[in-house]
């Protein structure tokens, strides 16, 4: 879920069999947009390839094609090219709470993000189990949860822009 070049990039295929049978083999190839040669990977029966971190840089665009085969072993034609512009994930910062002790039964969570199309705000207990989750739209940068006294929580916020999701931001609190 991301086209941030410093991390690995998952290149997925959709099996479109020539013979109507399940996927038994696949190939994917990729290159920097405008390059003349492809790098080809044979995937076996996998329907994705994990492009290693750092293969390309943010700001570059890669071109990807794939082909699959069913039990006959006959590969489909190469798919049309897909262009994937690489760029950094959207940043998110939790601005409240800042961690430590929280003194109210209402936990107001606020965050800062750029170009947010949606956000998921999660409240987790001390064991990391999800207590409550909220999905909010583009213009919302705050939400509130009811919390219990003498309990530890972690707040986690993940935002998405038009192309990809941020890495989650989190902060731990203890309600007193």
Task: Kindly give the confidence (pLDDT) of every residue in the chain, 176 residues in length, as a single tens digit, with 9 standing for 90 and above.
Answer: 457 777 788 898 888 777 788 989 999 999 999 999 999 999 988 889 999 888 898 889 999 999 999 888 888 899 999 999 888 888 999 999 999 999 999 999 999 998 899 999 999 999 999 999 999 999 999 999 999 999 999 999 999 998 888 989 999 999 99
pTM over 0.95: no
d(CA 176, CA 11): 47
% helix / strand / coil in the chain, to the nearest 5?
Answer: 0, 50, 50
Which phi and psi angles does 83 have, rounded to 5°?
Answer: -95, 130
């Amino acid at each position: 879920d991301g086209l941030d070049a410093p991390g690995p990039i998952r290149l997925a295929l959709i099996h479109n069999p020539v013979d109507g049978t399940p996927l038994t083999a696949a190939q994917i190839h990729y290159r920097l947009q405008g390059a003349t040669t492809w790098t080809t990977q044979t995937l076996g029966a996998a329907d994705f390839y994990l492009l290693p971190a750092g293969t390309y840089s943010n700001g570059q665009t890669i071109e990807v094609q794939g082909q699959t085969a069913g039990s006959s072993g006959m590969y489909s034609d190469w798919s049309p090219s897909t262009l994937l512009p690489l760029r950094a994930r959207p940043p998110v910062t939790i601005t409240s709470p800042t961690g430590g002790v929280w003194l109210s039964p209402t936990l107001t969570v606020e965050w800062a993000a750029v170009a947010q199309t949606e956000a998921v705000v999660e409240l987790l207990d001390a064991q990391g189990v999800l207590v409550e989750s909220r999905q909010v739209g583009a213009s919302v940068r705050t939400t509130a949860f009811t919390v219990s006294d003498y309990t530890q929580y972690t707040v986690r916020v993940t935002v998405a822009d038009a192309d990809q999701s941020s890495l989650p931001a989190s902060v731990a609190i203890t309600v007193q």
